Amino acid sequence: MNKNLIYRSVLLFVMISCSFACKKYLDQVPDDRITIEEVFHKKATSEQYLANVYSYVDDESNQWDGWPWLANSDEGDITWSKYTIYDLNIGNISAGNNLFEKWGYYYNGIRSAGYFIAHIDENEEIRSLNGQQLIDQYKAEARCLRAYYYFMLMRQYGPVVLVSDTLTPPDAPAADMQLPRSPFDNCVDFVVTELDKAAAVLPLTPVSNGLSADREYGRATKGMALAIKARLLLYAASPLYNGNTDMAGFRNADGTVLISQTYNQEKWKRAADAAKAVIDLNLYSLYKDPGGDPVKTAQGILLEPWNNEQIFVRKNNSLWDWDVNAMPRQAGGWCGIAATQEQVDAYFMKDGRSIRESSLYSETGFTDVNGVQVFNMYMNREPRFYAAITYNNSIFQGGNMSAQAPVSFFVSGPNGKNGHPTDWSKTGYLIRKNVGPQTNAGSGGNGQHQNRPLVLFRLGEIYLNYAEALNEYAPGNADILKYLNLLRERAGIPQYGAGNNPLPAPAGQSEMRNKIRAERRVELAFEYHRWFDIRRWKIAPQVMGDLHGMNINQNGNSFYQRIVAVKHLWLPGSYWFPISQYEMDRGRLMVQNPGW
């Protein structure tokens, strides 16, 4: 590895230390600077170094230029062609034109965490003030973060290069820095071991230096480490990684197979046990609106800061920018983050059935709702639909709107194609989920919910992870329906085989699998899961491609026609991103991902 990358954090602290002096630049002397050794002799500078390790927990709210998980799946679309996501959707990607490249970024974080782990025991000031306990906690935080960065690499690139805990000297021969990729299962075992080590030391609630938990939210906890482990093991048990004979040719140069060719059902048990371990902490609970409104519940899961469902969050983020991009032009927004018709169709009816199963669903006619004509496609839907989707003639108030008003996407309407050269939805929908209604574009994002955290892991996902893994390992286990129904009860729709007006319980493992996947698509919509789900289930080639919406080129009744709105291209190599040619040239023992 490049020695300049190894010492990225060292350079950061040299720059920080320069600010300690009050002299002009030309008056500075070497005594104004601190060395890397001194960083780990002082409590304040060590904590600054750890803060730098945390800085690699990236802000995924930018889903147009920073991350592709929303708009390179079948659930959403970013309307503008000027952003990186457009290039990805038309297939303009290669090892030489590597979009959304994170390989080097996360290895920087891994090295920074590793250096901290190797040196924090040298800090006698912390030990004298707080004892060994705080040093151990800080080390566990860095270990958890390093494991998380490995996981982030694995979900995007598949098998990765595992870097030794022994730091490579900057003057080491180039040959010592050449490492091959490890088989995916080996990567999983390594990361799980690291997370287990961290979880054994991390506190149950975020605390440091005696500060209250609300001052320290966002720091690593036991629940955070176990939640990362649960998601990783669910992915590892899934068809993409568990006996995937389509990847038989994906090997290192020495013939080492990188994706397991033998199906192992025990991987599902391992995933189920990991999810249950998070549940059994009894630290987290499903968020519910205090007034019992299921629509407000669905909104508050992400909008109410620090609620007890949230396990791992990023405090600092640009969600205000998400808000403005997703808001209609009527609200001062940019009308650019759209839901697809496929995602609209995924939501249940209020009777808990899918649109294919429910007698309540209709694609003909209109219903008068307080003087507004609403297409019957949008009537009688479940509460999560109304919390997540802005559809034609739905009522909206947010941004700079002083009162509620219907939102129109007709071609000549206030948010339609004719009203602006670029800011219009290609599908005739906008995403409403996790949009802070009081964010005002004119004031730079000031307002209610502006400072909410970006939720990366929450208990609702853990319930779904547990139900899915348990159904694959022990179909018929009572916990499968229990945890699926807890989410449906919270959503305000009938449960399967329980509660008031129950629906028939799914018959058999296959039907239950379909119900779990359908629930996951709705419950976790627009939270950056769908991209990974359709790949790990190996259904992406079937669901990507032509995606639909309403006919935004029309007014009136002619608008309500399904048309192909966008195309999200699927390429043979699209299961993982290519490793950039730059990294391949540096790591000569690495092999490229299939299809690139």
Residue 489 falls inside a structural domain: no
Residue 295 falls inside a structural domain: no
Distance between CA 179 and CA 256 in Å, rounded?
Answer: 13
- pLDDT, residue 211, reads 53
- Pick from 205, 206, 241, 202: nearest CA to 225: 202
Distance between CA 346 and CA 354 in Å, rounded?
Answer: 7
- pLDDT, residue 31, reads 47
Residue 271 falls inside a structural domain: yes
Distance between CA 18 and CA 104 in Å, rounded?
Answer: 27
- pLDDT, residue 248, reads 98
Residue 85 falls inside a structural domain: no
Three-point CA angle 506, 509, 511, nearest 5°: 45
Residue 412 falls inside a structural domain: no
Question: Do 15 and 21 touch, CB atoms closer than 8 A?
Answer: no
Entry pTM = 0.92
Number of domains in the chain: 1
Residue 360 falls inside a structural domain: no
Measured CA to CA in angstroms, residue 265 lies from 193, 246, 269, 475 at distances of: 20, 18, 7, 12
Per-residue pLDDT tens listing for the chain (596 residues): 333 333 334 334 433 333 333 333 233 334 445 677 789 999 999 999 999 999 999 999 999 999 999 999 999 999 999 999 999 999 999 999 999 999 999 999 999 999 999 999 999 999 999 889 999 999 999 999 999 999 999 999 999 999 977 666 656 665 666 899 999 999 999 999 999 999 999 999 987 565 545 567 889 999 999 999 999 999 999 999 999 999 999 999 999 999 999 999 999 999 999 999 999 999 999 999 999 999 999 999 999 999 999 999 999 999 999 999 999 999 999 999 999 999 999 999 999 999 999 999 999 999 999 999 999 999 999 999 999 999 999 999 999 999 999 999 999 999 999 999 999 999 999 999 999 987 765 444 444 556 799 999 999 999 999 999 999 999 999 999 999 999 999 999 999 999 888 999 999 999 999 999 999 999 999 999 999 999 999 999 999 999 999 999 999 999 999 999 999 999 999 999 999 999 999 988 999 999 99
- To which residue do tokens 């609970």 refer? 285
Distance between CA 413 and CA 554 in Å, rounded?
Answer: 10
Residue 91 falls inside a structural domain: no
- pLDDT, residue 28, reads 36
Q: Residue 110: which CATH number? A: 1.25.40.890
- pLDDT, residue 217, reads 81
Burial class (CB in 10 A: 0-12, 13-18, 19+), 439: buried
Report residue 63 as tokens: 């889903």
Distance between CA 570 and CA 581 in Å, rounded?
Answer: 21
Distance between CA 265 and CA 235 in Å, rounded?
Answer: 13
Residue 24 falls inside a structural domain: yes
- pLDDT, residue 169, reads 62
The gap from C-alpha 375 to its chain's centroid, in whole angstroms, comes to 32
Alpha helix stretches (DSSP H) within 503-565: 508-523, 530-536, 540-543
The residue segments making up the domain with residue 216 are 3-58+102-283
Distance between CA 433 and CA 386 in Å, rounded?
Answer: 9
Distance between CA 157 and CA 150 in Å, rounded?
Answer: 10
